[in-house]
Structure 1
Amino acid sequence: MDENAPLLVFILLLFCSRISSSFSNGFFYQDILNGNGNGEIYFNGVKLRVEAQPPSAVPVRGGNVTLPCRFWYEPELSVPRRVRVKWAWLPVSGDSESDVLVAIGHRHRSFGHFKDRVFLRQDVPGDISLIISNVSLRDGGQYRCEVIDGLEDESAAVHLELRGVVFPYQPHRGRYHMSFAAARRACEEQDAAVATFQQLYAAWREGLDWCNAGWLADGTVQYPITQPRSPCGGLDLGPGVRSYGARHKLSHRYDVFCFSSFIRGRVYFLQHPQRLNFSEAVQACITDGGEIATVGQMFAAWRFLGLDRCDAGWLADGSLRYPITKPRPNCGPQEPGVRSFGFPSPHHKHGVYCYSSK
């Protein structure tokens, strides 16, 4: 047996291992196939550049958004190179980064809740901007655009943030009854998502003042105070977002701060000849061609569409509320907001707010 046989076997195994490792997300990628036509696999003195400008995007929920990204070489190459492009997403909840899309040339594959909703623009050479269709509340966060060419690997980041409104929420059972999972479900049922600290902080800067502590997306429990007072941490503490820190997501119970974004369609007070109990209110909205509005839809309509009505009406969670953008006598406090009468008996007769996507 040839004394060099073991060495040859080792080299063969190493080569096969390199080929097998080049399979990623179903895309074959091998450096040796990415030459410049002259047998050169890597270029000396050539730098790969990746840029995302502007580094942020503010889309409308339900619409499309383009996250900019482009790449080029310095100095410019005379022969195009085949590169691998990957877009990844770090959600605002702080969960781990996950793949959005992987592409080589015009072949691409999308993943997770982005599947069949994302593609590359590729209008001009080097353009690898990501287009996301039907933007949802879940899509917020930081996106990383990565270009891989042989040993070169460069990336750039784009932040996607939806315009929205933060509102405190507690269920009909009253204050401090929700685990983290229950809080997440409660926000989703109200056409909203659990707010992040950044969203709560922005809402506090805009004047949100609420004494009950609520869950945030990172598992912490906090509350915003603009007017310090004794029942809310005492007079010795200045205004700010007060924090209980991270709480146990299963055993601890609090309220929640929800985040709702701009909505397509409209929320309206149903003109009806008579007052309605809750089940009648639900049916009346359906008969009118819509559905009973959620709390999140009312807050979004109040904030972004100027919904203003002094009549209390049923919402989908069984609560009774009304929106005021122009405070006036007999319509509650002298500040704008969504007023709440809590959760009356479902047999009581009231008006109703409906939502229509048209």
Structure 2
Amino acid sequence: MFCRQPLLLVLVTGTLLALLRHVISHGTEADKGRRKVVHVLEDESGAVIVQTAPGKVVTHRGGSITLPCRYHHEPESSDPARIRIKWTKVTDALQFHDVLVALGRQQRVFGTYKGRVELEDAGPGDASVIIHNVTLQDYGRYECEVTNDLEDDTGFVSLDLEGVVFPYHPRMGRYKLNYREATEMCRQQDAILASHAQLHKAWLEGLDWCNAGWLEDGSVQYPISQPRDQCGRKDNPAGVRNYGYRHKEDERYDAFCFTSNLNGKVYFLKRFKKVNYGEAAKACQRDGASIAKVGQLYAAWKVQLLDRCEAGWLEDGSVRYPIVNPRARCGGPEPGVRNLGFPDKKFRLYGVYCFRRDRASGGAQWTRGAPTSTSASPANGTRSI
């Protein structure tokens, strides 16, 4: 009786070591590939196992992108016609928005995704979806759920967009916007409220701004690259300062907006004389375009490398100009979009930046399931002056 216990312990230990070696070797082999897969959840029955790509998939507005998701069964004994696939977008506030539901050959797409989303259907076990003509609002986290009768598993994929973050306040002045108004202001400027991840990335690229602004999750933050007393004390370290989550109706701040690739072109309208705001808007219309929005000018600066040392009117009544290659006569040593504020619309005279939309709004060329980015950005980041 006493001899059987050590033998049993040896057998159990040997089994665990063998299992551990299998897990380690499996992880090592997966690490060798460029596109890793991870088991998000696996219960003891092993009926359904979902695999998704770790990290983020990246595209830009107007492109197409595949959100990868695969599944398999252990043992492999499931009828494909009884597999239910559901894609959902999950917001930071834990709100769920249906994207696509498929059962066998039947599919249903919801809301703004109609006509733009389809299953990749690249073979057995493929639950990936393709999003065409990606919009700014598509940015975020998605859940892939696969159900077989009573067994289910889920995985998550984050969709990121190439683009630029910019601070914004309206003509009425700084710290005038509650959360809802900040959201609307960004929308009017061809943008969305930035996420914390987008603002943090912009800070890493050099964005320095001393006024706090709303972010998409309802928090209020601001990025400081060069600490100084008027921006939270000089002896505080550089970073993204965070006021936390604020009351969305009662409290008022500026906004940090995010925009991405343009489905068109921003250009400075060449004229022999400068004009007031009303004349500027009409001049763009006569040229078959519209007066550019702030977000469109930032996107043109970031993506199209628009560099123009001439101030011009924008749609919101502000006057700005984009600098990629800094020079002494163009407003300082750093690249950025220079802002001259909101001059009198009737009596102040400037040039104008126009926006002409592409006739075919698809943007860059994309291969099914394999997005290729064509955007570029200034080497010195997104510092705004």
TM bin, normalised by shorter chain, reads: 0.7 to 0.9
Partner of 1:122: 121
SS class of match (1:58): strand
1-side partners of 2:45 and 2:345: how far apart?
Answer: 74
Tell me which residue corresponds to 1:357. Answer: 357
What SS does structure 2 have at the residue aligned with 1:174? coil
Q: If the length of structure 1 is used for normalisation, what is the TM-score?
A: 0.84
Q: Residues 300 and 80 from structure 1, CA distance in 2 versus in 1: closer, same or farther, beyond 3 angstroms?
A: closer
**Could you tell me which amino acid in structure 2 is paired with residue 222 of structure 1?**
Q
1:265 aligns with 2:264: yes
The aligned residue for residue 49 of structure 2 is 49
> Counterparts of 1:86-235 in structure 2 under 5 Å?
86-91=86-91, 93-235=92-234
1:306-317 alignment, distance < 5 Å: 306-317=305-316
Specify the code of the residue in structure 2 equivalent to 1:150.
D
Query: 1:251 aligned to 2:253?
Result: no
Letter matched to residue 88 of structure 2: A
Using the alignment, how far apart are the partners of 2:138 and 2:242 within structure 1? 26
Q: Following TM superposition, by how much is the alpha carbon of 1:118 offset from its aligned partner in structure 2, in angstroms?
A: 1.4
2:252 is aligned with what amino acid? R
Q: Deviations over 1:240-267 (max 9, x none)?
A: 1112222111111111111111212211
AA paired with 1:311?
E
Give secondary structure in 2 for the equivalent of 1:289: coil
Answer yes or no: is the 8 Å Cα contact 1:55–1:157 preserved in 2.
Answer: no
Q: Give ranges in structure 2 of 5+ residues lacking alignment.
A: 1-43, 359-385
Task: State how 1:20-99 maps to structure 2 within 5 Å.
Answer: 47-53=47-53, 55-77=55-77, 80=80, 82-91=82-91, 93-99=92-98
Q: Match for 2:76: what amino acid?
A: E
Q: Say whether the 8 Å CA contact 1:192–1:258 is kept in structure 2.
A: yes
Give, in whole Å, the separation in 1 of the partners of 2:94 and 2:183: 14
**Structure 1 residues 215-224 or 66-75, which shifts more?**
66-75
Mapped to 1, the partners of 2:274 and 2:222 lie a distance apart of 36
Aligned length: 314
Name stretches of at least 5 consecutive residues in structure 1 with no aligned partner: 1-43
Residue-by-residue CA offset, 1:71-109 (whole Å, 9 max, x unaligned): 222333386452111011113x53512211111011111
Counterpart of 2:161, as a letter, is L
In structure 1, C-alpha distance between the alignment counterparts of 2:319 and 2:355, rounded to whole Å: 15
Change (3 A) 1:80 1:209: closer
1:57 Cα offset (Å): 1.5
Q: Distance in 2 between matches of 1:299 and 1:94?
A: 28
Residues 220 and 80 of structure 1, relative CA distance in 2, 3 Å threshold: closer
**2:344 aligned with 1:345:** yes
8 Å Cα contact 1:54/1:68 also seen in 2: no
Say whether 1:238 aligns with 2:237.
yes
CA contact (8 A) 2:48 2:147 kept: no
**1:41: which partner in 2?**
none
Whole-angstrom distance in 1 between the partners of 2:218 and 2:56: 25
Given that 1:327 and 1:335 are in contact with CA atoms closer than 8 Å, whether structure 2 keeps it comes out as yes
Quote the residue 1:331 is aligned against: 330
Q: Spell out, residue by residue over 1:38-74, the C-alpha distance to the aligned partner (whole angstroms, 9 max, x if none).
A: xxxxxx9763222123653112202221111122223
CA contact 2:81–2:103 (8 Å) conserved in 1: no
- Verify the 8 A CA contact 2:289 2:356 in the aligned structure 1: yes
TM-score norm. by structure 2 comes to 0.78
Contact 2:80/2:104, CA 8 A, preserved across alignment: no
- Report deviation, 1:124: 1.4
Output the CA distance in 1 between the equivalents of 2:78 and 2:142: 31
- State the Cα distance separating 1:117 from its structure 2 match: 2.2
| Aligned AA (2:290) | E
Q: Is the 8 A contact 2:81 2:105 kept in 1?
A: no
Report the secondary structure of 1:209's partner residue.
coil
Aligned 8 A contact 2:226 2:238 in 1: yes
Contact 1:164 1:260 in 2 (8 A): yes
- The secondary structure found in structure 2 opposite 1:166 is strand
Give the partner amino acid of 2:86: K
Give 1:160 deviation, angstroms.
0.3
Distance 1:105 1:269, change over 3 A: same
Q: Which has the higher contact order (CA 8 A, sep 6+)?
A: 2
State the AA in 1 paired with 2:265: R
Shift in alpha-carbon separation, 1:176–1:225, aligned structure 2, 3 A: same
